[in-house]
Structure 1
Amino acid sequence: MNDRDTVVGIIRIVDGPYRAFAWTRQAGMKDLGTFGGRSAYAHDVNQPGQVVGSPETRDGASRAFVWTGAEGLVDLNTRIPRAPSGFVATAARGISDNGAIVADSNAGLVLLVPTAATHVAPTVGPIRRSGAARVDMPLSVSAGFVDADPGETHRATWSWGDGSKDEAGVVAEKNGAGTSSGKHVYRAAGLYTVTLTVTDSSGQRASRS
């Protein structure tokens, strides 16, 4: 609930899906809709009345949304012009009065800011594997990254989780966004945590496993 008496949350139709709603004294309760799926959840509202949450798509996947009375329901993934490759925001959890949004994603918890910033850590997308993982065979991995400051350059380090030395990744970038790739040979079968750390030219860094 905000200070203007806008209340948001979820309602459940008896034995049916959950739906996101916004209520005001003037307009009453409004169903915010979905992206073609059954359920939707509203998690927060700021003072200007922007609502954030997570509705379902037709295939049951979750997507982060922002809703306003003027625009209706908007997929936040369509409003991130410099997202890392493969990045998907799945649920918007909170929104500040200036429009900054905390969201769940397939790359972990992220902060989406409405304007570019300098000297902030880059955002690293999900790590992708090329081909099957086999003992004594090269395993190729890669991940995208993006920096709010397009003037930054970046270096990358891969940690393989098997006790071997960290290795520098190959970086391909332009205007603060790009990808890092790496290759490693595991000598024994097991479960290993692969971690990528991207450091920008101002010394800010971010990691993804």
Structure 2
Amino acid sequence: MTDIASSVRLTAGTKIYLYVSLTIIAAIVLIPLLTTALGGFKTLGDLRTNPFGLPAEWHVENYTSILFGDRYWRQMMNSLIIAVLTVFLTVSVSAMAAFAFAHVKFFGSNFLLNYFLIGLMFPAATAILPLFIRIRDLGLLNTYWGVVLPQVAFGLGMSILLFRNYFRNLPEELFQAAFVDGCGYIRFFWHISLPLSRPIIATVSIISFVGSWNS
């Protein structure tokens, strides 16, 4: 059986259109990156007068002073520590909260869920001043937790929503069979739900890590 897609031949005009379009897209992506990389070899004056051309004099020390300096790697390590703590707390708290919203029936569950989801409507930038005042009052300025806790708080809404939808789509027969065998909520969450939730755990972890690292 021959492949139909492989038998379709493109006309010369179509090939030219594809090559020209891909070249333009590649240029749009690569030119800013190349300009940025070349700008690192220039002095500040050269960068202002000749932002897109080759450097008049190549200054390799602009890169080496950063790569071999202590400050750069210390900032990278701080960012990594903050991102890892944010991912761990976000995944842990949102998974437990989402499991309760998905399987445990209690008074005010819908109201509490909507309260968490309200956070999706407001970006973190709108709460910069209240957050700074609260962190200062708690004595968390210039600490990891002063950065981690606000990131976790603003990431819980989306994470809980993703986990809750995933937990609700798990087969109901698993939940019923586990309770017939004497499995409680905690054991069902730890031994059954979490092992089956590795895809959503990876998804939430990646989203949390990228958001924290970009911040």
TM-score by length of 1: 0.22
More strand by share: 1
More helix by share: 2
Greater relative CO, 1 or 2 (CA 8 Å, sep 6+) = 2
TM-score by length of 2: 0.22
